[in-house]
Amino acid sequence: MLGDIHSSGQAAHWFVWGRILFYAVHVFGLACLSFIVAKRLIPLLRGERDLRSNQPLTRVAKILKFWLGQWKHPRYATAGTIHIFIFAGFLVLAIRTFSVLILGLSENFAVPGLSGSWAHLYDIATDYAATIVFLCMVVAAVRRLVFKPERYAQPSKYGIGRTADAIFLLGLIAVMMLADSFFAGAHASIRAQQGFEVEPLATLSLAWAFQNTLHSTTLPTLLGLRLGSCLFHEATFYFLMCYRPFGIQFHVITSIFNVYFSRLERGTLKPVRWGVSDERLDQVKSFGVKKFEDFTWKHMLDFYSCADCGRCTDNCPANAVGRPLSPRFITIKARDYSYEHYPVFGRSNGSEPLIGTIYSEDEIWSCTTCGACEEECPLLVEYIDKIVDLRRGMIEEGNVPQCLQKPLKALESRGNPYGKMDKKRADWTKAKEFQQTCNVKTLNGSNGADTLYFVDSITSYDDRMQSIGRSTAKILDRIGEKFGILGAAEKDSGHEVRRFGEETLFMALRDHNTEAIEASGAKRIVTNDPHALNALKHDYQDLPPVEHISQVVSREVKSGKIKFQEVENQANVYTYHDPCYLGRHNQVYDDPRDVLDAIPGLKRVEMSRSRDRSFCCGGGGLMLFYEPKEDQRMGVLRVKMAAEAGANVIVTACPFCMVNIEDAIKVAGLEGKMSAVDLAELVDKHMEPKTSAALQEEAK
C-alpha cells in the first residue's frame, strides 16, 4: 500500500519528505528500541547461570501451545477471550506492520504468498483485526476502570497502582488501530478517486467507516492524510515498543523467550548452582539468593515477562488466608528493583540484600510450594525455585524461624522432625490386630521382596497417620505384592527440608536413603505420601521406579485384583481433595477418582477448586511446624469448599493433608458433620477379602 505513495506523481512533495520521514521514524525507532532492550539485558548478563537450552523441540512445542495457542488464557473466561482476540489481531497485523516497514526500504516488496485474491482476503482480515483489537482495548479499559476486577487491585503496601499505566498502554494501542484503519480507508478513497478498481473494504470495520467518511475529500488532502496516518502509525508503534520495557507490558517482547526457556519438568527444584555438582558445592561461595544478581538470568526474564494479570495471586492459598505473600508482587517488586537499579538512562547500581528491603522473611516463609501460582500463569513465570533460593540464602545466614529450629535439629540428629528414635520407626507395624493379618518385613536385600514401601516420617511416627501406613501395607498384601520396608534404616525423605532451603541437610538424608534403598534390593518403590513420592522421583537420582499407592490401586482395580464391597454408609457424600504434590506436581488426578468411582454406591462430588486448581490444605512437612501470620487456616477454607460442594466426607491421599484437614474440621466447628479419610484407609475398608484360592496359593 505504501508503494503507491512513492509512485504517485500527484504527490511529489509528499514523496520526498514522506520517504525521508519514513526512514527517520524507522531508524530512530529501531535505534531507541535496540538501546533500551540492550540496557534491560544488562542484569541478565550479571545474573547466575541457568541451563535452559536442552530439548529444543519440546521447547518449540511449548511456544506453539502456551504462546501461540494461548493455552492458559481461557482459564479466566472474559479476560482470556479478550486477550486471545488481541493476540490474534496483533499476529494478523504484524504482517502488515512488517510489510509497511519493508515497503519503506523497497517499494516493490510484496509479502510472499500474499498477492491477488489472497492479498484482498488478507486486507479484509487486517481491517477486521484492527477493529476487533480497538474494541478489545475499549472493553479492557472499561473493565479496568468500571468493573475493577479484584485481582488487578494493588494493596497500598505494594506502592502506587498500575491502572494508569495499563490505561495509557490500552489507549496507545487503540490509537494505533485507529491510525491503521484510517490509513486503509484513505488509501481506498485515493484509489477510487484515481479511477482504479478498488476492492471493497471489510464491511462495518473501522477502515470501511473511514473510507465512507472520506469519499468526498479532495485528492491532495487524502494523499496528505494517508501519509500522515502511516507515519503516525509507525511513530506510535515505535513509541509503544520503546515504552513497553519501562512498564508492565514488556511481556509483549519477552514472553516468547520466557515460554521457550521455561522449566520442562514438574516437581523438580533447581540445583543450588547450575553446573556445580554436589561434590563441588563446598566451593560455592554463597548459597541461594541474597541479592538481585543471585537470581538466574531466566528468573530475571520472568520478572520482565509478567503481565501483572494477578492470576497467580488470585490462586495463591497463602494470599487467600491473609499470609503476607502475593506471588504477583514477588515478581513486580523484583522488576521495580531491576528498573531502579539498572536504569535505561544512568549507571547501574545495586547489590543490596533483598530480604529486609524488597522482601520480608515472613513473606518468603509463607509459601507452601503448592504450585498453584505456576499452574495458573499464562506466561509460565516460575515461583517455587525463586522462593526456595531466597530461603537457601536466609538459611545460610542463620535466618531460620524460631519454630523451625527444633524440627530441623531433630532431622539432623535423628532423621525425622519429631526427634523420635530410629528403632521406633517401624513400631506402626507392631499393632496386634494388624500383625495378625499382615506381616511387614524389613528388607535386607535377600528376603525376597521386590517392592519397597517407603513410609516416610509422618506415617511412621504420627499415631493417627500410622493407620494410613497399615492400610497401605494391607493393600499391598491383598494384591499379593512381595514387599517390605526399610524400618530403622529409613530416614525422612528430606522433601520439605529441601524446599525450606536446607540443601546440605537434604543431601545427607538423600544419600543415606539412597544407600539403604540400594541395599534393600528393591526393584520398585511404593509410597502413600506424595511428598516422599516427589522427593524420590525428582530430588533423588537413579532409584527404581516410584509410584503412589493410588496409582497401584487404580491399576489393580482395572485388572480385577481388587474388588470392592458396597460403600459402608450410602448417605455419605464424598469429595476428593487433590494433594498438591500428587496432583499439580505429579499429574496424578484420575487414579484416585477412578478408585473412588469403583466403590459401589459411593456418591462423589467435585469441589469448585479441584484437580490442577486444587487449594492447598496448608502444606506438609516442616510447614506443619511453621506458625505463620494469617487470618485463617488454609485447611478451614478447604473444608468450607467441601461443605459448599455438598460433601460430608473429604477423601485425600496424603498424610499431611489429613493432619491439616482433620484439624480444620475441628476449627471450623464441623465435627460430627464432616470427616476426613485417606484413600488407602477407604480402600482397605471396602476391599473384598482374599478368596480361599488366593489364600491357598499363598500357603504353598
Q: Can you give the binding site for ligand SF4, defined by CB under 6 A?
A: 306-312, 316-318, 325, 327-328, 331, 367-373, 376-377, 379, 381, 383-384
By C-beta, is 14 or 304 nearer to ligand SF4? Answer: 304
Residue 250 C-beta: closest distance to ligand SF4, Å = 11
Give ∠ CA 381-386-389 in degrees, rounded to 5: 165
By C-beta, is 632 or 648 nearer to ligand SF4? Answer: 632
By C-beta, is 180 or 382 nearer to ligand SF4? Answer: 382
Residue 614 C-beta: closest distance to ligand SF4, Å = 11
DSSP category for residue 676 = E
Residue 70 C-beta: closest distance to ligand SF4, Å = 13
By C-beta, is 8 or 331 nearer to ligand SF4? Answer: 331
By C-beta, is 66 or 183 nearer to ligand SF4? Answer: 66
Residue 538 C-beta: closest distance to ligand SF4, Å = 16
- CA–CA separation, 611 and 550 (whole Å): 15
Grid coordinates representing 62 are 511449548
Q: HSE of 113 in the Cβ direction (CA atoms, 13 Å)?
A: 2
Amino acid at 129: A
By C-beta, is 163 or 648 nearer to ligand SF4? Answer: 163
Residue 103 C-beta: closest distance to ligand SF4, Å = 35
Q: HSE of 205 in the Cβ direction (CA atoms, 13 Å)?
A: 26
By C-beta, is 99 or 326 nearer to ligand SF4? Answer: 326
By C-beta, is 181 or 368 nearer to ligand SF4? Answer: 368
Element (H, E) at 447: none
Can you tell me whether residue 54 is helix, strand or coil? Answer: coil
Residue 130 C-beta: closest distance to ligand SF4, Å = 26
CA distances from 566 to 434, 468, 657 (A): 23, 21, 26
Residue 302 C-beta: closest distance to ligand SF4, Å = 7
Q: How many helices and strands (H and E) does the chain possess?
A: 29, 9
- CA–CA separation, 356 and 397 (whole Å): 13
Radius of gyration of the chain (CA): 31
Residue 667 C-beta: closest distance to ligand SF4, Å = 20
Give how far the C-alpha of residue 690 lies from the chain's centroid of Cα atoms, to the nearest Å. Answer: 44
**Which residues make Cβ contacts (< 8 Å) with residue 233, sequence separation at least 6?**
100, 176, 179, 180, 183
By C-beta, is 237 or 304 nearer to ligand SF4? Answer: 304
By C-beta, is 373 or 536 nearer to ligand SF4? Answer: 373
Q: Which has the closest alpha carbon to 80: 143, 167, 126?
A: 143
Which residues is 651 bridged to in the sheet? 576, 677
Q: Alpha helix locations (H) across 47-162?
A: 56-62, 77-103, 116-142
Determine the longest span between alpha carbons in the chain, in angstroms.
104
DSSP category for residue 547 = E
Which residues is 677 bridged to in the sheet? 651
Residue 309 C-beta: closest distance to ligand SF4, Å = 4
Residue 259 C-beta: closest distance to ligand SF4, Å = 12
